Amino acid sequence: MVASKLEVLVDLGPKPDERVLEKTLKELNSQDDVKQAVFKDGAFMVETTLPSTVVLDMVAKTSGKRAVLQGFGETQSAVAMVSSQVCCKGGVLGVVRFQESPDGALIADGSVDGLRPGLHGLHVHDAGDLSQGCSTIGDHYNPHGSPHGGPTDPLDRRHAGDLGNIVADERGRATFRIVDNVLKVWDIVGRSIAITERRDDLGRGTSPLSKINGDSGSTIACGIIARSAGVFQNPKRICACDGVVVWDERERPLAGRGRRETGDVQKPCCKTETQDVKQCCQREKAEVQKPCCKV
């Protein structure tokens, strides 16, 4: 199996507890799927074949601290924020990360919530156009004009973007790690990743759609694939202007009301009264109207 290197940042405070560090490293290194785990430059460096979400959960549970993935992969990396592209609650939401390993294989590592339990197709599409949601992302990425197939099929019998299926558990969460020998990071940056409502039959079904999209139904979630930071390439600890620390960022909306409600945390951009700061802080007070939720 191809291993990935993860940079896991943990909320250890100004002076890390050596006992917590030792306990966490011992737990990580005891896993058969962890090649090596060390603490370096304020973060855990983990080389593993486990999905990143599994590692994050393990670190958080063992240390008793909040943990976030700060960097993924040493070589070319990309990421997509996947959602059902609707502003109301109850949709599909997740993250898919991509890394090109030193031997050229592409690793797709993801965690997606809000799915119906069972199998769902996962595909890279031609376009990174979300102007009309997932309906404008184009067809499967297929530079060689091949029929639809499965990820283990040769290139003349699969779309380059065919990544097979992911499995959602009874809670609606799919955690996965796929190794693909066709796609490259720079082929997919600017394109999109999509999840379908049904299982992909990998081009082996009897439906006329089998050789087109695996008869996997409509797209229920998608996201644009963008370049991302590898390990120790992202020094961010606090978000510019709005003062939301990296620990709280994933638990808050991306914008609008509620973004900067940090309790007793002082908002750095609101400490002075310059014109630029005033404009920045006005965003906190603005109510973001969600058009699809008006009716």
pLDDT tens by residue, 95-139 = 999 998 888 899 999 999 999 999 999 999 999 999 999 999 999
Query: What are the distances in angstroms from CA 38 to CA 1, 27, 45, 73?
Result: 20, 11, 5, 15
| 82: nearest Cα among 108, 106, 110, 107 | 110
The mean-pLDDT minimum among 68-82, 118-132, 216-230 falls in 68-82
Under 8 Å between Cβ of 152 and 200: no
> Tens digits of per-residue pLDDT, 195-205?
999 999 999 99
Contact 47, 8 (CB under 8 A): no
pLDDT confidence of residue 2: 84
pLDDT in tens, 164-202: 999 999 999 999 999 999 999 999 999 999 999 999 999
pTM of the model: 0.75
pLDDT tens by residue, 16-49: 899 999 999 999 999 999 999 999 888 999 999 9
Contact indicator for 77, 230 with CB cutoff of 8 Å: yes
**Pick from 258, 265, 263: which is nearest to 243 by CA?**
265
Return the pLDDT at 244: 42
How far apart (Å, rounded) are the C-alpha atoms in residues 130 and 127? 9
Q: Can you list the domains of the chain with their CATH numbers?
A: 4-72 (3.30.70.100), 77-227 (2.60.40.200), 246-289 (no CATH)
- What pLDDT is attached to residue 88? 53
